[in-house]
Amino acid sequence: MVFRPSLLALASVSLVLGACSGDDPDPNDGFTDAEIAKMQDFSPAPTAINDTTNKFADNEDAAMLGHRLFFDAGYSGPIVVGDDGSNGGLGAVDETGKVSCRSCHLGDWLIDTRSQPNGTSLAIDWFFRNAPTLANVATYETQFGWVGFNDNLWGKSLIPAEFVMGTTRTGIVRYLYANYQADFDAIFDTPLDSGLDPASPDIDTRFPADASPIAMNDSWAMMADADKEIVNEAYANFGKALAAYQRKLITGDSDFDRYVAGDREAMSASAKRGLKLFIGKAACDGCHKGPTFSDEKFHVTGVEQIGDHVLGAPDYDPGRNGAIPVYLGWDFNTAGKYNDDPSINRTTGVAEDPALLGAFRTKGLRNVAMTGPYMHTGHLNTLREVVEFYNEGGAASGFAGTKDPLMVPLNLTETEIDDIVAFLEALTGDNIPGEWLVDPT
């Protein structure tokens, strides 16, 4: 749960923005009481949510297993686009075991610095969207990724394996038995079935390695229902271990948080002016809300589909509307049987909606200065380019859907754009604890 300042702190400007000396003519740094109240909605820095849909969320052994699985490339499938000497590829065509989660979430800020160009990511194949940072991913409540392919972190963590990493649900569960059985069984309620043992005489009959409900073959359909359930439960727990690890990827206070807590010198004068614009003239807080700086809703902001590997004309990227069938059909959303808290069902009322064509989830802004390139296309390289994009009210064409009414020209001056950039730079938090970023394998 995110800590909130006390009512006393909210009521006392001297505690919010620092006590002033007798000769200070403006103890509030030019901010009104209403603006100070808005600041309080953004700070302090968020912590991982209390995720009751995953009863292993705070299990340290699950986090350590997830840490190993995050760095383990062994369960990835054959490469489709190989290394050509300049594209940052991870191996030769048809090589297996070359792609891990870490391959596209690198460095201290868990972004793709490898693919060339890195607007989108090259793993097994080129993906058509930018790989977002995983720093603070566990602070979101309900939506994950650019388009909300899932409504919980552990279920979202399962999608790359089947959709991006060239493997199958059954193949991963077989890999878990062969490489992690003892650790896995010590954590989760249901041990891995002995039929998954590589030495089992009927493993290929009961658990074909190419079996997955999204695979373009009949292997999954031919499996017994009981064996499908064995695979699904183990696969869900695979995701819960990955999610437990990602809950460790939390950054600390930023200069902005220190400013709100009372350090008057924590932000530059330019950043303070940028903050005033962010919650005022530019109205960025219309969508960027709360400690994560995201309303976790979907908006059409008019991002042109620019880049070598993005979805182009005439259909462009369908965004949220295209993701909804995947989300509702996914076995591991909160409506599914693997949710550990049945009182939560976030699928209620969700349906395809033409208004969501081309809509993308509001990006959280913490650490944004460290996590470029920007937009789901990754075609904007600097924060200044991003602010200029919003200053223009988004692009006029080259995207799916109809722009959100909030997307209007902001009429910012060049200096005001610089000031907003300075404020965004002040949202960089203290680093993730280094031990969680080291390969444990």
179 lies in a domain? yes
Do 266 and 386 belong together in one domain? Answer: yes
Do 210 and 79 belong together in one domain? Answer: yes
Q: Where are the alpha helices (DSSP H) in 119-224?
A: 153-156, 159-163, 169-187, 203-206, 219-222
54 close to 243: Cβ distance less than 8 angstroms: yes
Distance of CA 309 to the CA centre of its chain: 20
Indicate the helix (H) or strand (E) that contains 333. none
Domain containing 154 — which CATH number? 1.10.760.10
Q: What is the pLDDT of residue 441?
A: 82
Do 214 and 262 belong together in one domain? Answer: no
Q: Which of 249, 282, 309 is the last residue of a domain?
A: 249
Do 146 and 38 belong together in one domain? Answer: no
Q: What is the pLDDT of residue 1?
A: 40
Alpha-carbon torsion (31, 33, 39, 44), positive or negative: positive
Q: Which of 249, 273, 289 is the last residue of a domain?
A: 249
User: Which residues lie closer than 8 Å to 438 by C-beta, 6 or more apart?
Assistant: none
Dihedral in degrees, nearest 10, Cα atoms 312, 318, 319, 325? -140
Give dist(CA 170, CA 214) in Å, integer: 11
325 lies in a domain? no
Closest CA to 242 of 137, 142, 171: 137
Give dist(CA 104, CA 108) in Å, integer: 12
57 close to 247: Cβ distance less than 8 angstroms: yes
291 lies in a domain? yes
Cα separation values, 280 from 10, 16, 104, 258, 381, Å:
20, 19, 36, 21, 25
Do 95 and 64 belong together in one domain? Answer: yes
Kindly report the number of other CB atoms within 10 A of residue 290's CB atom. Answer: 17
What range does the domain containing 294 cover? 7-46+253-319+357-435
Give dist(CA 175, CA 77) in Å, integer: 12
Q: Which of 208, 233, 249 is the last residue of a domain?
A: 249
The residue count of the chain comes to 441
Do 42 and 95 belong together in one domain? Answer: no
Do 130 and 160 belong together in one domain? Answer: yes
Per-residue pLDDT of the chain (441 residues; tens, 9 = 90+): 444 443 224 334 444 444 444 455 677 899 999 999 999 999 999 999 999 999 999 999 999 999 999 999 999 999 999 999 999 999 999 999 999 999 999 999 999 999 999 999 999 999 999 999 999 999 999 999 999 999 999 999 999 999 999 999 999 999 999 999 999 999 999 999 999 999 999 999 999 999 999 988 999 999 999 999 999 999 999 999 999 999 999 999 999 999 999 999 999 999 999 999 999 999 999 999 999 999 999 999 999 999 999 999 999 999 999 999 999 999 999 999 999 999 999 999 999 999 999 999 999 999 999 999 999 999 999 999 999 999 999 999 999 999 999 999 999 999 999 999 999 999 999 999 999 999 998
Domain count, the chain: 2
